[in-house]
Amino acid sequence: MNVIVFASRKGGSGKSTLAAHLAAHVHKATKPCLLIDADPQGSLTLWHKLRGTNEPAIKTAVTSVGGIIAAAKRDGIEWVFIDTPPNMSAVVEDSIKNATMVIIPARPGVFDVNAVQETIQTCRAARKPYAVVLNGAPARRDDVESPIVTIARESLTKFRAPVWGGQITNRADLLMALSHGEGAREYYAEGRAAAEIGRLWAAIERSVKAIRGNAPASGAMHKQAA
Ligand SMILES: Nc1ncnc2c1ncn2[C@@H]1O[C@H](COP(=O)(O)OP(=O)(O)O)[C@@H](O)[C@H]1O
Ligand SMILES: [Mg+2]
């Protein structure tokens, strides 16, 4: 079983959005996924209500996640996705402690990029693999990324943060899907939003395989905190 934690002390960076879209992308009855909503704001819980099915299942965590994760392991859950609040409270620390890998979403702005440092420090202190995912980015034009995204990558490189090479573009489809309780692929399988979520998932899977020692670390997007 693998635990993917979405963390960043910046609100609005895309933790809940990525958790919902990736969970909808990954969940299969044969390889079930469990969501843990550790944010009292309850965005993921709202999406799950709109979805109206219990697939994937969802649990709420207030101060710790260990008990839920142990039960999920017994139940044969393959993937656990934890959405966390935009702070460094006990439940965030505990989620990171239990993570296989931490995804740190960041919008490509100077304040946003700067704000990831605290979450990175927490990952490093807990010796957990992590990667930053640029989210809400301006669309690529003629296959060239926006200068804003390039600048964000450069700043992240300066504090040696590992960054996914792709981007999640700011897209109405991602919002529309959420308002229907769906993931990008369920909403519009051929759309660009679905393609980007699929690419992000492939990168996460590759990293997790490398973390588990089942694939070479070269080409993986994460950094193994030492
Ligand atoms: N890539 C995106 N494209 C369009 N809207 C987005 C994107 N990422 C996030 N949003 C929207 O921005 C808002 C904040 O995102 P959210 O996932 O709630 O952030 P967080 O959970 O980190 O606070 C939400 O309304 C969300 O749907
Ligand atoms: Mg949220």
Any bridge partners for residue 77, and if so which?
A: none
Give the whole-angstrom CA distance, residue 167 versus residue 36.
24
- Domains along the sequence of the chain with CATH: 2-211 (3.40.50.300)
- Classify each residue of 84-111 as buried b or exposed e, where b means 16 or more C-beta atoms within 10 Å of its C-beta: bbbebbebbbbbbbbbbbbbbbbbbeee
Ligand 1 lining (C-beta closer than 6 Å): 11-17, 43, 86, 135-136, 168, 170-171, 174-175, 178
Protein residues within 5 Å, CB atom, of ion ligand 2: 15-16, 43
- Whose CA is closest to atom 3 on ligand 1? 170
Residue 94 in tokens: 């505990």
Q: How many angstroms does the Cα of residue 66 sit away from the middle of ligand 2?
A: 20
What pLDDT, on the 0 to 100 scale, is given for residue 132? Answer: 98
What pLDDT, on the 0 to 100 scale, is given for residue 225? Answer: 55
Q: How many angstroms does the Cα of residue 70 sit away from the middle of ligand 1?
A: 30
User: Relative to the CA of 10, which ligand 1 atom is closest?
Assistant: 22
Using alpha carbons, list the distances in angstroms from residue 29 to 32, 55, 57, 76.
Answer: 5, 8, 11, 11
What pLDDT, on the 0 to 100 scale, is given for residue 159? Answer: 84
The closest alpha carbon to 180, from 21, 32, 31, 58, belongs to: 21
Q: How many angstroms does the Cα of residue 184 sit away from the middle of ligand 1?
A: 13
What pLDDT, on the 0 to 100 scale, is given for residue 39? Answer: 98
User: Relative to the CA of 20, which ligand 1 atom is closest?
Assistant: 17
Local mean pLDDT, 10-residue blocks, the chain (226 residues): 97 98 94 97 98 97 98 97 97 98 97 94 96 98 96 93 96 98 98 98 96 86 70
What pLDDT, on the 0 to 100 scale, is given for residue 220? Answer: 86
The closest alpha carbon to 160, from 206, 124, 106, 203, belongs to: 124
Q: How many angstroms does the Cα of residue 76 sit away from the middle of ligand 1?
A: 30
What pLDDT, on the 0 to 100 scale, is given for residue 226? Answer: 44
Any bridge partners for residue 60, and if so which?
A: 37
User: Relative to the CA of 169, which ligand 1 atom is closest?
Assistant: 1
